[in-house]
Structure 1
Amino acid sequence: MPKSKDQKLLELEQKVLLLEKQKKELEKKVEQADKKAIFFDMMIDIAEKEFKIPIRKKY
């Protein structure tokens, strides 16, 4: 039996809500990854200064 327009609309609205939730979660993960990268970069800078050893490769 084919779905009514109301059923299709309701399903699409649910999909939109799910996609918006997934988008929000992914944006949060990206923000956390950016913060983590900055933190690791700072740790390398501190280690290079404190121990006077080159950690990063110079190209």
Structure 2
Amino acid sequence: MSQFTVSGRFKNRDGYSPFETTVDAPNENVAEERVLSEFGSRHGVKRTEIELEEVTGQ
């Protein structure tokens, strides 16, 4: 599997917070889905409140 760095921002009570995280995934689409799932469960954020800006492979 490849490593992908995903950056963007998610909505919280103070507005939006930027983030950048690295995930292992076979392709960019799976990397995006894993980030959406991770932030949703960790921060209690809906997918519509997460904005992905860039996905880069390493």
Greater fraction helix: 1
Question: Considering only CA atoms, is the larger Rg found in Structure 1 or Structure 2?
Answer: 1
Q: Which has the higher contact order (CA 8 A, sep 6+)?
A: 2
Same fold (TM over 0.5): no
Greater fraction strand: 2
